[in-house]
C-alpha cells in the first residue's frame, strides 16, 4: 500500500478572517487489490495546495496507468500553489473545471501520439477546500465518488455528493433500475463520461458546505464496488486518524474480494 500525506494537517494562517477557519487533516492511500496485476488508479494529496484528487484509469496494456497519471500531473501543474485565500466558490469552480479540461486534452494528445495508448481514459474526482468560506469545491467526471459524513444528530448523515457517469446510473435516473439492481448489473462499470473523450463538456461541479467534524471521502469504485455504504460510513466515523481510516477502508475492500484497485482520500475538517 502506498500512502501519501499521512496525517499531515495544515492550519490556516490568515489572521483577519471573521469567518470560520477550518483546519483540514487529510491522508490518502491506493492499493492494487487482490486480483488486478497493476494499480491503474492514481491519487493526489497536496494539503499545502488545498488540492486532493482520485483518478481511476482504464485502457489496454499499461495505458490506464498513463491516463490516471497524466490526469493528476495535469491537475498538479494547474495548481502549482494554493489558490488565493480569498478566492470564492465560483472562481475556484471555474479553475477546477479548467484544470479538468486541460487533463482531458492532455490525455487525448497523448493517446493521439502513442498508438498503444489510444482510447485510454480515466475518471477524476477533485476536491479543494475554500479558505474564505466554510465550503469546498468538488469537480467530477466518471464513477469515482465523493461523500460527506456529518456527525450523528444532524439528520444529514452520510451523503454521496457525486453522481456516477455510468450507464446504470442513467437507468436508475430513468426509473428503469433500482439501486440494488444497478449494483449487481453486468454493465455496472460502463462509463458514459470519462477523461480522454472528445467533446467531454464541463465537469460536474459541486459546492458543498463544511462544518467542523465533517469527514469527506474521495474514492475509486474499487472501494464502493466492494464495501457497502453503511460499512464505509461506520469506518469513517471511527476515531482513528485519516491515514488509519484509509488503511481500514482498503482492508475492508480487500477482505470483501479486492477485485479492483482501491483508492481512498479521507479529509476531516475541524476548528
Ligand atoms: Ca476501478
Task: State in Å: Cα 243 to ligand 1 middle.
Answer: 21
- Higher local confidence (pLDDT), 17 or 249: 249
Report pLDDT for 8. 47
pLDDT at 246 (0 to 100): 98
For the chain, the average pLDDT equals: 91
Ligand 1 center to 17 CA (angstroms): 41
Say what percent of the chain tops pLDDT 90. 80
* Pairing status of strand 41-46 against strand 9-10: unpaired
- Cα of 169 vs centre of ligand 1, distance in Å, is 16
Q: Which pLDDT does position 174 carry in this prediction? A: 94
Going from the Cα of 190 to the center of ligand 1, the distance in angstroms, rounded, reads: 11
How many angstroms is it from 94 CA to the middle of ligand 1?
A: 27
Distance from the alpha carbon of residue 238 to the mean position of ligand 1, in angstroms:
25
Residue 58 Cα to ligand 1 midpoint, Å, equals 8
Distance 230 CA to ligand 1 centre (A): 20
Render pLDDT for 65-107 as a digit per residue (tens, 0 to 9). Answer: 999 999 999 999 999 999 999 999 999 999 999 999 999 999 9
Distance 260 CA to ligand 1 centre (A): 6
Angle between helices 63-78 and 89-113 (to 10 degrees): 140
Nearest-angstrom CA–CA distance, 137 and 23: 16
Which pLDDT tens digit goes with each residue over 193-222?
Answer: 999 999 999 999 999 999 999 999 999 999
pTM of the predicted model over 0.75: yes
Query: d(Cα 43, Cα 64) in Å, to the nearest integer?
Result: 13
Ligand 1 centroid, distance to 251 Cα (angstroms): 16
Cα 270 to ligand 1 centre (Å): 31
Amino acid at each position: 500500500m502506498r500512502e501519501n500525506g499521512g496525517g499531515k494537517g495544515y492550519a490556516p494562517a490568515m489572521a483577519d478572517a471573521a469567518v470560520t477557519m477550518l483546519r483540514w487533516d487529510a491522508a490518502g492511500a491506493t492499493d492494487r487489490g487482490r486480483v488486478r496485476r497493476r494499480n491503474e488508479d492514481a491519487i493526489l494529496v497536496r494539503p499545502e495546495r488545498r488540492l486532493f484528487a482520485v483518478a481511476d484509469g482504464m485502457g489496454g496494456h499499461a495505458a490506464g496507468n498513463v491516463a490516471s497519471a497524466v490526469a493528476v500531473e495535469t491537475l498538479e501543474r494547474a495548481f502549482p500553489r494554493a489558490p488565493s485565500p480569498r478566492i470564492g466558490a465560483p472562481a475556484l469552480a471555474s479553475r477546477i473545471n479548467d484544470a479538468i479540461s486541460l487533463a482531458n486534452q492532455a490525455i487525448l494528445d497523448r493517446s493521439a501520439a502513442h498508438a498503444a495508448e489510444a482510447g485510454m481514459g480515466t475518471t477524476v474526482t477533485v476536491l479543494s477546500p475554500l479558505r474564505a468560506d466554510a465550503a469546498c469545491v468538488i469537480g467530477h467526471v466518471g464513477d469515482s465518488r465523493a461523500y460527506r459524513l456529518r456527525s450523528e444528530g444532524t439528520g444529514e448523515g452520510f451523503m454521496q455528493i457525486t453522481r456516477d457517469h455510468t450507464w446504470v446510473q442513467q437507468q436508475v435516473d430513468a426509473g428503469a433500475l433500482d439501486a440494488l439492481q444497478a449494483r449487481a448489473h453486468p454493465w455496472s462499470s460502463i462509463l458514459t463520461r470519462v477523461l480522454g473523450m472528445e467533446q467531454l463538456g464541463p465537469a460536474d461541479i459541486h459546492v458543498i458546505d463544511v462544518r467542523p467534524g465533517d469527514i469527506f471521502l474521495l474514492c475509486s469504485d474499487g472501494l464502493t464496488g466492494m464495501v457497502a455504504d453503511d460499512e464505509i460510513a461506520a469506518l469513517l466515523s471511527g476515531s482513528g486518524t485519516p491515514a488509519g481510516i484509509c488503511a481500514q477502508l482498503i482492508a475492508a475492500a480487500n477482505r470483501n474480494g479486492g477485485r479492483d484497485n482501491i483508492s481512498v482520500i479521507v479529509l476531516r475538517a475541524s476548528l
